[in-house]
Structures are given as structure tokens and as C-alpha cells.
Structure 1
């Protein structure tokens, strides 16, 4: 009878020791992963990527019967300040919008950006007989008569990071350059526009 009681007492103790051992191992694993991430961060020292719309223009802007024809040209400056991280831009889409309506869309060729580098990305987007809502047509007509229009420029890209020989999985990069003023007069200077980044 006494032996049965002793065995019953030992079984919960063994179970508790097992749970404590598993919990200790998990905690140690979490600490090690955290330390590895911290060391990687200290070694790589990631820095925020900077994107600026350096130039923009519009040509052949024509509004007829609620339709638009126009050609937009943009130069986006992409600055990678990191000394360790390079970037693959595998798929890139440019979009021009006005009052939430897409005016033009285009894709550009993939490229690779090394660390500590400024790459200028050029894109030409065309609106070909694009149907506009009556309100958008009216507002664009008013803005054209003023000599300039304000548009939003969007860029979406699938990117991968490269550190040494290691390459990351794909991430989605979204860039928005808001309230970009495009002049119809060639002699008016384009003002550079900093862009917001979502990654």
C-alpha cells in the first residue's frame, strides 16, 4: 500500500519535471533566435530606402468627348543607403491616378540595385483614348486651363533582398508620390517630390 502511494507521488513529479524541461528548452530557443536576429541586425545595419520623384512631365494632353489622350514621363530616384543589403526589383508597375481614377499604367524591366547606390528609374505611361467620368473630365479641363495638373504616382514592385550570398523571399514594395504637379509649359521647373514607402 505504501509502495503504491510513493509511485503515485513520483509520477506527477516526473510529469512536472518534463514540462519544466520543455519550457526551459523553448525559452532558451527563443533567446537564441532573438540573439541571432540582433547580431544580424547589428552586422547588416538596415537603413530606410529613400524614393524621390526627380522629374515628371506630360505631353500631347488632349481632352475630347470625355476621353483623354496623354503621355506621362517620370524619373524616380531610388536610394539604397545600406552598406550590406542589395535589392532585386523583379516586377515593377507604374500607375498615374487622378481623383482615384487611373489615367495610365505601365510596367518596366526588372533591375538589380547594389548597396550604397542611387538608381534612376525612367517610365513612360500613355493614356490612349481613356474614358473619363464626367466629373473627372470637367476637373481635368479646368486644371488644363490653369496650365498644370496634380496627379498621384504609384509604384508597386516585387523585391528580394540580398546579403552576401543569401537572398530573401519576395516582398511587396509600394511607393506613393502624392500631389505631383505637372506643368504644360516646358519652361516651368519640376519640383522634386519625396515619396511614401510601404514595405
Structure 2
């Protein structure tokens, strides 16, 4: 009499469970290896191509007008020249939005002036010029006193501000927009008697930039 060997349903279920567990483990290890490799590549690219922020320097600033038309209303005219440099060897910069204004003692003394957008290639430099004006701008009651005090000291300090948005270009890939802010300090001789020409700063000083 021959014997027929049969496996119980419980035994078959346990064996199938082991097979499924092995498959899930293989899939988990494969996905883990893939994402680890991907993150390592992204980190390596970030280390190699991490863009340095653009550099700005003040080439020249001229004040043609800075006078009160009323006790607290200011008329101003400033001519500005900046040098913009992209220090990156493998990263280009799109400047999508650029606004420039002048400030004195923390007060904005010209309206925002927009400059045309442009692309800056690897290690390129661009010369930016802007005419900044203000007509009847409200200023603090102490404005006239502060200007008079600086005139007595013989130095006037002006801040030239640049705000805008930029995008990085690496190969064919272009990043999303980033805000950037630039602050340039112009120190001008400002004697007890007003000069016939404009107050001028030609220092070529480096400006501070944040992105």
C-alpha cells in the first residue's frame, strides 16, 4: 500500500510568507541603495557646483542735488555706477529683477529705479549705471540737522541699495528664483561750503551681498 504525502495548508502558507519576506527585503535593499546613490550624487554635484554669490563694487557715486523744498520734503538726484561680477567658473546668473535706491541715515532719499534684466556668464563682469531721483520725498524732521552736522564734520556717508531676484544656470538646468540684496557705502567729502560741482565718491569699494 503506497503512501501519499501531502503538505498542510499551514505549511504552504508559511513557505509563501518566507518567499514574500525575501522579496520585500530585496526590494527594500534595492530602493535603499538607489536613493543612497542618488543622494550621494546630488551632494557631490552640490559640492562641485555650489554657486558663490555675485560680487558688486562701487565704481562711482555723484550727488547732484540734496535739498529740502519744504521743512520735511526732499529733492534729490544721484548718479550711480556699479561693477557686477559672477565669480563662478561653471555657473551662470540670470538677473530677473533689479531695483536700486539711495539711503541716508536709514532713510530712503530716492525712489526705486528698475534696471533691465540680464544674463551674466561664467566669471563675467557687467557695468551698471543708474540715475536715482526723488521729488518731494518725505523725510524725518531731523534730516536737515543731520546733513548740517555731516557738513560740519566734512564727510557725508550714503548707502546705495540694490534689491532683486536671480536664478542660477548650471548647464541646461536653471534654478528657481532667489532674492538678493546689495549694500554699498559711499563716503564723500562734504566741506563747510557747498561745492559748485556734485559730491563725488570714486573709491571702488566692495559692497556687501546676501542671497
- Structure with the higher fraction of residues in strand conformation: 1
> Where do 5+ consecutive residues of structure 1 fail to align?
none
Give yes or no for the alignment of 1:31 onto 2:37.
Answer: yes
Whole-angstrom distance in 2 between the partners of 1:191 and 1:111: 26
Report the more deviating stretch, 32-41 or 78-87: 32-41
C-alpha displacement of 1:58: 0.7
**SS class of match (2:202):** coil
C-alpha displacement of 1:198: 1.3
Partner of residue 5, structure 2: none
Larger radius of gyration: 2
C-alpha displacement of 1:51: 1.3
Conservation of the 8 A alpha-carbon contact between 1:86 and 1:115: yes
C-alpha displacement of 1:31: 2.9
In structure 2, the CA distance between the partners of 1:157 and 1:19, relative to structure 1 (3 Å rule), is: farther
Deviations 1:16-49 (A, max 9, x none): 973784365145313323224414653x474443
**How many residues in Structure 1 have an aligned counterpart in Structure 2?**
197
C-alpha displacement of 1:112: 1.8
In structure 2, the CA distance between the partners of 1:136 and 1:15, relative to structure 1 (3 Å rule), is: farther
> Where do 5+ consecutive residues of structure 2 fail to align?
1-7
Whole-angstrom distance in 1 between the partners of 2:29 and 2:161: 48
Tell me the TM-score normalised to structure 1 length.
0.79
Conservation of the 8 A alpha-carbon contact between 2:56 and 2:206: yes
In structure 2, the CA distance between the partners of 1:99 and 1:16, relative to structure 1 (3 Å rule), is: farther
Over 6 Å off, 4+ runs? none
Conservation of the 8 A alpha-carbon contact between 1:58 and 1:183: no
Whole-angstrom distance in 2 between the partners of 1:31 and 1:197: 35
